[in-house]
Amino acid sequence: MSHGQAVALMVAVTLMWSIAGVVTRHLEHARSFEVTFWRSFFTALSLLAILPAVQGRAVFRKVIRGGTPFWISGLCWACMFTAFMVALTLTSVANVLVTMAAGPLLTAVIARIFIGHRIAARTAVAIAAAGCGIAYMYGNQLAEGGLTGSLVAMLVPLASAVNWTLTQHSHAQGHDIDLVPAVLVGAVISSLASLPLAMPFEASAHDLGLLALLGLVQLAIPCSLAVLCARVLKAPEIALLALLEVIFGIVLAWWGAGEAPTGTVLVGGVLVIGALVFNELMGWKRNP
């Protein structure tokens, strides 16, 4: 794959990731943990078909022999899958996506605390700016009595930060984690954990069709394609391109479901995303 093809594919990946919000807004009866269960279930089902076709039956041996870091990674994915869908039922799409955008900067903080990675000056500035953006958003929501969804959404970048830090540390120790089978494990854990809370089922056939679409098109396919892109693109490129998910997701929810972002989210989003863009561009300029 050429660099240009990888960039185009990564843009397509972010577009697929971004459909979760607008699709969720068109559900008829499914709510909260039932939404989480069905999306995770259909993701696992899709990956059970995709992974053997791409990696062969050896992928199942990777799951069985994965080891502790692999299974912790699977738990992190499960937390992300569950918290993301529950947060979408509690707060706006824009709020969830902007909160998730803080993930790379949270990763820098957690990697500094737990494995001693040095934080560059530009990253420290970016973390401070992003922190101001999140604090501004959360402060206004607390005043309005609507903070629950934002706190649930914050579990997504926190779990992501733990996952990437664990992966990086394991790689440094000579133990690589194959993230795609870990996604499968996460989907299975998420569906099993949310099943008791999802009962009794209320999803209509229309809802099941949309949630199957999310499982296949919004998670299983793009997560597999993102791994291919990571073999060609550098980390700063992927981080910057991944921000398109926030833009695409907000626009789609606005256009497809009439959910206009509030001024608070827009201001906080500019601070968070601007901080990340600044950090990645400065890092890219320093180490082209």
**Nearest-CA neighbor of 185 among 257, 80, 278?**
80
Q: Which pLDDT belongs to residue 142?
A: 66
Q: Which pLDDT belongs to residue 23?
A: 92
Number of H helices, E strands in the chain: 15, 0
> What separation in angstroms does the CA of 116 have from each of 60, 113, 121, 273?
33, 6, 15, 25
For residue 160, count other CB atoms closer than 10 A to its CB.
21
Q: Are 211 and 37 in contact (CB under 8 A)?
A: no
What are the residues whose beta carbons fall under 8 Å from the beta carbon of 151, sequence distance 6 or more? none
**Nearest-CA neighbor of 180 among 223, 211, 142, 147?**
223
Q: Which pLDDT belongs to residue 19?
A: 93
- pTM score of the predicted model: 0.84
What does the block give as tokens for 147? 């903070």
Domain boundaries, the chain: 3-286
With a cut of 70, list the residues of the chain below it in pLDDT: 141-146, 175-177, 235-236, 284, 286-288
pLDDT tens-digit map of 63-82: 777 778 888 888 999 999 99
Question: How far is residue 127's CA from residue 18's CA, in Å, rounded to a whole number?
Answer: 24
Question: How far is residue 169's CA from residue 171's CA, in Å, rounded to a whole number?
Answer: 5
What are the residues whose beta carbons fall under 8 Å from the beta carbon of 18, sequence distance 6 or more? 97, 244, 245, 246, 247, 248, 249, 252
Q: Which pLDDT belongs to residue 167?
A: 77
pLDDT tens-digit map of 123-162: 788 878 877 887 877 777 666 656 788 888 889 889 888 8
